[in-house]
Structure 1
Amino acid sequence: MSTLTEPVDWTGTSSDPIDEQFGDVVESSNLASADGYDIVLVGEPYDGAVISRRGAAEGPSAIRDALAAVKTHHFDVGPVDSIADLGDVEVPAGSVPEVQDAIREAVEAVHELDALPVFLGGDNSVTVPNVAPLLEAASIGVLNIDAHLDVREVRNGPTSGTPYRQLHEAGLDGYACIGARHFETSTAYHDYVRENGGTVVTAEEVAADLVAAVDRALSGLDSVDRLYCSVDIDVLDATYCGCSAPTPGGLTPRELFQLVRLVAADERIAGFELVECAPSLDAEGRTVDAAARTIAHFLSGWSA
């Protein structure tokens, strides 16, 4: 059975005692005492399923370091607090299915907490074990904030491109992708999403009217009781993005921040993840900083 490692100790980086940062408020905890918090962080350092360039296994540690230096205050809703870090999932050596099974065992107990689980990836294959425990409890939909649909066929085993095909086959009740880019997805995979009742909202639609784009994505998930939100950082334009598959035509960080705040306000939110942040492929830490602030913005929207 896979377990969680020792949690990380967080500290702020500012010399000004008035500058409250996430490093000052995130506390180390464990499953036994985590119910006392509103939000729990769990790292998933794995990139063995990446189709192209690896590096996302370094994501959880780098995101923690960047988030620790981010101030907790949002102008509209005030500070974010009541956060625990439960450590990383101990990822075993083995095939992608074996790793997915092990991660699922570890996160099932996280989903049983009263706190909101926030998973720090890791490649996009971790979405499967992160969502799978929710399928047993209620009608579940996933909002995939991503440049790609990630519904590839599972041929020689799962990859970072197959998570939503796997979840559909396991009983996922709803799917919407927002931020998808033209010429990044095969026709057959777009057809698969449409045939299964999914919704695709492009990056162009987000740029034209962000609020309307979010409304259209969420309206495609009206029939589900609970909602899981996944952010693949490659939804950002390649200018801002160090990841396995950066491409032009994506969202700006400011668009992503507003988008996740709007989504987080949905009362059905049952979990959140940020995946595919690869520090070794980054330039000057821009992607890691954007990833950390994406998490901060989501938590501010959820806490409001």
Structure 2
Amino acid sequence: MSELTTPPEWGGPSDDPNDEQFGDVIEGATLDSAGDYDAVLVGEPYDGAVIGRKGAREGPEAIRRELAGTKTHHVDRGPVDSVGDLGDVAIPDDCVEGVQFAVQETAAAIYDAGAFPVFLGGDNSLTFPNAAPLLTDGTLGALSFDAHLDCREVRGDPTSGTPYRQLHEAGLDAFAVVGARHFETSTAYHEYVAEQGGHVTTPEAVEADPKAAVDEALGSMDGVDSIYVSLDLDVLDSAVAPGVSAPTPGGLTARELFAMLGRVAAHDRVVGFEVVECAPPLDDGFRTARVAARAVAHFLSGLGVAR
């Protein structure tokens, strides 16, 4: 198992005593205390498997910085509290497969501690080890907010394009992608997802009715025991999130994404969440890190709320 680094010191930057920010409520945590929180943050500074442009290894620090200054109050759900931070996974100097093995052991220890992890990536190759421990305890569905299907065949080392192929080969029981873009994934991979009984929702369907779109995706995995949720920030339109490995036009709006994340988090079978492909060196004015932090905030605000 990879070690977890010491959690950062949190603090809200506002000098208004009435402002409560995430930096004021997030606390450093350990594996022993992780289960005492509604959710725990886990940084994964790694981009050694990314197919496109690198930079996601700097994602966890940037997301934490933007989250620290975000106020805790959701207009409809009230303030968020009870969030811990386990620090970062110490990524080994190894091949991608070796990194995945080490991360999977760490993720398993976090689940075993009774915690609800929120992984801050990092590239999409870590989706496999983040979710794989859940395959050993009942049936599992993966709900992916992504412009791509990420189910390429593994040819040599895994990549950021292979995690869902790896999960399917390891026994994934259900799969749904929300926000999959036209002209972004090849026919063979769409056919593969269809053969696995997967569900694909386009941005047009989301625009028509975001809540119905995500409910349909969740409904496609009614038979599974637990659901793992992944957010690849390239699901957003490139104007909203330019700082990702593969930005493209025609994606979701931030408002659509936030509404769906809060709804998904309230689902009682959701057991883990990740945000991947935030690449600060590729960003413009911290826009991508800021929207990533807001996505985390909206997800946290939905945990345990009745839909």
Asked whether the 8 Å contact 1:55–1:281 carries over to 2, the reply is yes
Shift of 1:220: 1.0
Corresponding residue for 1:260? 261
Q: Deviations over 1:75-96 (max 9, x none)?
A: 1110110011000000011110
What is the alpha-carbon root mean square deviation over aligned residues? 0.8
- Partner residue in 1 for 2:297: 296
- Structure 2 CA distance, aligned partners of 1:303 and 1:141? 19
1: distance between equivalents of 2:125 and 2:89? 14
SS at match of 1:224: coil
Summarize deviations over 1:2-56 as a string: whole Å, max 9, x none: 1101111100010001100000000011112222212111000000000010000
Post-superposition shift, 1:303? 3.8
> For the residues of structure 2 that align with 1:138 and 1:84, how far apart are their CA atoms?
27
Partner of 2:184: 184
Instruction: Specify the alignment match of 1:282 in structure 2.
Output: 283
Cα offsets for 1:140-169 (capped at 9, x unmatched): 000000000000111122000000000000
Is residue 121 of structure 2 the alignment partner of residue 114 of structure 1?
A: no
SS at match of 1:177: strand
- Tell me the equivalent position of 1:66: 66
TM-score where L is the length of structure 1: 0.99
- What is the CA-CA distance between 1:114 and the residue it aligns to? 2.6
The 5-angstrom pairing of residues 113-152 of structure 1 reads 113-152=113-152
Between the two proteins, the alignment pairs up a number of residues equal to 304
Deviation larger for 232-241 or 209-218: 209-218
The 5-angstrom pairing of residues 78-97 of structure 1 reads: 78-97=78-97
User: Could you tell me which residue of structure 2 aligns to residue 228 of structure 1?
Assistant: 228
Q: Is the 8 A contact 2:267 2:304 kept in 1?
A: no
Q: Is the 8 A contact 1:100 1:126 kept in 2?
A: yes
Cross-structure match for 2:248: 247
User: What's the counterpart of residue 164 of structure 2?
Assistant: 164
- Residue type at the aligned position of 1:243: V
> Structure 2 matches for 1:200-215, cutoff 5 A?
200-215=200-215
The answer on whether the counterparts of 1:237 and 1:248 sit within 8 Å (CA) in structure 2 is yes
Gaps of 5+ in 2: none
CA distance in 2, matches of 1:102, 1:214: 32
Is the Cα contact below 8 Å between 1:151 and 1:164 reproduced in 2? yes
Whether the aligned pair in 2 keeps the contact of 1:67 and 1:289 (CA below 8 Å) is yes
CA distance in structure 2 between the aligned counterparts of 1:303 and 1:13, rounded to whole angstroms = 28
Give deviations 1:96-139, integer Å, cap 9, x for gaps.
Answer: 00000011111111111233111000000010110011000111
Quote the Cα distance in structure 1 between the aligned partners of 2:197 and 2:184.
20
Q: What is the one-letter code of the residue matched to 1:139? A: T
Deviation beyond 4 Å, 4+ runs, structure 1: none
Take 1:94 and 1:83, find their aligned partners in 2: how far apart are those partners? 31
Aligned to 1:198: 198
The aligned amino acid for 2:276 is V
Displacement of 1:260 after TM fit? 0.5
**Contact 1:23 1:68 (8 Å CA) reproduced:** yes
Secondary structure (helix, strand or coil) at the match of 1:240 reads coil
Q: Point out where structure 1 has 5 or more consecutive residues left out of the alignment.
A: none
Does residue 1:52 correspond to 2:45, yes or no? no
Are the counterparts in 2 of residues 38 and 114 from structure 1 also a CA contact under 8 Å?
Answer: no
- The residue aligned with 2:271 is 270
Give distance in 2, aligned partners of 1:2 and 1:267: 29
Measured against aligned partners, the alpha-carbon deviations of 1:192-250 in whole angstroms (never above 9, x if no partner) come to 00000100011111011112211211111111110110000000001011101000000
Cα deviation for residue 277 of structure 1 reads 0.5
> Which letter does structure 2 place at the counterpart of 1:277?
C
Which secondary structure state, in structure 2, belongs to the residue aligned with residue 277 of structure 1?
Answer: coil
Percent same amino acid at aligned positions? 63
SS at match of 1:238: coil
Q: Which amino acid aligns with 1:225?
A: D
Query: 1:114 and 1:158 mapped to 2: Cα distance?
Result: 29
**Structure 2 counterpart SS, 1:239:** coil
Aligned partner of residue 239 in structure 2, secondary structure: helix
Q: Which amino acid aligns with 2:300?
A: L
In the alignment, the residues of structure 1 paired with residue 281 and residue 111 of structure 2 have an alpha-carbon distance, to the nearest angstrom, of 30
Amino acid at match of 2:95: S
8 Å Cα contact 1:80-1:303 kept in structure 2: no
Q: TM-score of the superposition, structure 2-length normalised?
A: 0.98
